């Protein structure tokens, strides 16, 4: 009888820790793959994601891949999937060419969030990004109201980035109605969002147009900066209206100095936080916060969480940039 009782006690002692282990929640592990260029924003977003993950107690691995060396983005993703991630946040280098990554993720039952650049023609679990069409509308509206006639250059981003097309189409919503009043001397995409490529395209277009341009639709601040540099090479007797996006510090300084006219401030921290929170929701079986749907060319629309940007011009830099804590007064205006 004593032996049976002792066995029962021993069994009970071992059951308790095993039971407590089984109820302990599994650590969430997220992988993030940035297949991106040189824009400043990506380094910032990487840091914001890591910070947000740490606050939630999430294990995170981020890979910022600008050149596909020493590993390609596909190899990065496969390595992270094999390491046991629960969710993959993917910023594709080519939004139309991610089949290998998505097929492998599906094989390993790893959900995929398309971040910042919309993955096209494929089933994905969620899109987290900016409302590129509305951002483009802000650019087009600004141009149509400040340069409603004259010579125009229209630049869109990389042709493999669906956001570039959405942004361009948004701008054209306001520029199409004034097409009879403007002369479009160049209308083209910029491969890889390359500032150097944009510089060459813009310079050649201005030379072909007898050294003149009145307005430039520049899809981001890197390209806007390249356009501003080219404009300095020509002695035009009038200011050239230039748009932009990202609210880079150099762009804010150009706006102060009259070398760029507007940009859009995208709350990178908010977007990064949303991506991490949504990845956590998916990993833990909780519902995502969907506020939109996106037609990516797949057989059904994809659920999305989209965020809009703020127009920044010279008149609201103090309020929207300095008071908002994005940059300091000294950074913008100098000492």
In angstroms, the CA 101 to CA 75 distance is 9
Q: What is the pLDDT along the chain (335 residues), one digit of tens a residue?
A: 445 544 444 444 444 444 444 444 679 999 999 999 888 889 999 999 999 999 999 999 999 999 999 999 999 999 999 999 999 999 999 999 999 999 999 999 999 999 999 999 999 999 999 999 999 999 999 999 999 999 999 999 999 888 899 999 999 999 999 999 999 999 999 999 999 999 999 999 999 999 999 999 999 999 999 999 999 999 899 999 999 999 999 999 999 999 999 999 989 999 999 999 999 999 999 999 999 999 888 888 999 999 989 999 999 999 999 998 899 999 999 97
What are the tokens at 143?
A: 């141009």
Entry pTM: 0.77
Q: What is the token pair recorded at 159?
A: 């042709």
Q: Residue 104: phi, psi to the nearest 5?
A: -70, -40
What pLDDT, on the 0 to 100 scale, is given for residue 275? 98
Query: How far is Cα 74 from Cα 76, in angstroms, rounded to an integer?
Result: 5
Q: How far apart are the first and last CA of the chain?
A: 87
Domains recognised in the chain with CATH numbers: 29-130+267-308 (3.40.50.2300), 132-245 (3.40.50.2300)
């Amino acid at each position: 009888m004593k032996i049976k009782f002792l066995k029962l006690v021993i069994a009970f002692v071992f059951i308790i820790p095993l039971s407590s282990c089984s109820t302990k929640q599994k650590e969430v592990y997220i992988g993030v793959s940035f297949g991106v260029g040189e824009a400043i924003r990506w380094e910032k977003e990487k840091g914001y994601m890591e910070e947000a993950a740490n606050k939630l107690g999430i294990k995170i691995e981020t890979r910022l891949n600008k050149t596909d060396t020493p590993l390609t983005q596909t190899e990065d993703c496969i390595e992270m999937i094999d390491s046991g991630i629960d969710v993959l946040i993917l910023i594709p280098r080519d939004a139309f060419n991610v089949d290998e990554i998505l097929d492998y993720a599906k094989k390993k039952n790893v959900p995929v969030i398309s971040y910042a650049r919309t993955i096209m023609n494929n089933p994905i679990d969620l899109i987290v990004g900016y409302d590129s069409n509305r951002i483009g509308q802000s650019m087009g509206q600004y141009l149509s109201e400040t340069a409603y006639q004259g010579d125009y250059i229209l630049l869109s981003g990389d042709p493999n980035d669906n956001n570039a097309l959405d942004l361009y189409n948004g701008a054209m919503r306001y520029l199409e109605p004034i097409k009879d009043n403007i002369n479009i001397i160049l209308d083209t995409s910029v491969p890889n969002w390359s500032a150097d490529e944009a510089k060459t395209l813009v310079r050649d277009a201005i030379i072909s147009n007898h050294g003149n341009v009145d307005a430039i639709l520049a899809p981001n601040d890197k390209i806007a900066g390249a356009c501003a540099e080219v404009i300095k090479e020509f002695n035009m007797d009038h200011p050239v209206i230039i748009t932009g996006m990202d609210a880079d510090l150099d762009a804010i300084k150009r706006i102060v100095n009259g070398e760029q006219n507007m940009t859009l401030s995208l709350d990178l921290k908010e977007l990064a936080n949303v991506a991490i929170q949504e990845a956590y929701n998916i990993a833990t079986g909780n519902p995502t916060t969907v506020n939109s749907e996106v037609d990516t060319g797949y057989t059904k629309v994809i659920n999305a969480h989209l965020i809009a940007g703020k127009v920044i011009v010279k008149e609201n830099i103090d309020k929207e940039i300095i008071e908002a804590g994005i940059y300091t007064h000294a950074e913008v205006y100098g000492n």
